[in-house]
Amino acid sequence: MSSPKPTVVKCPQCKQEVVWNEQSPYRPFCSKKCQMIDFGEWADEEKAIAGAPDMSDSDGWTEDYNS
């Protein structure tokens, strides 16, 4: 039995070979890390605006918890 030859691409970041199928959700990148590196190159200037004020302002309940 000969299985069909998988399509293999090279990760644009680290040049590692990535099999082009559903097992590689970050293709053409080999991993999420490499995808994020590439993402960061153009998303960098947007990060300044995107600084979401999430859980950093939770002092309110902390005082109540101490008493």
Q: How far lies 66's CA from each of 14, 42, 58, in Å?
A: 50, 44, 13
By CB under 5 A, tell whether 14 contacts Zn ion.
yes
Residue 34 in marked binding region = yes
Residue 12 in marked binding region = no
Q: Which uninterrupted H or E stretch holds 53?
A: none
Other beta carbons less than 10 A from residue 37's beta carbon: 14
By CB under 5 A, tell whether 35 contacts Zn ion.
no
Residue 22 Cβ, how far from Zn ion at the closest point, in Å? 18
Residue 47 in marked binding region = no
The residues binding Zn ion (CB under 5 A) are 11, 13-14, 16, 30, 34
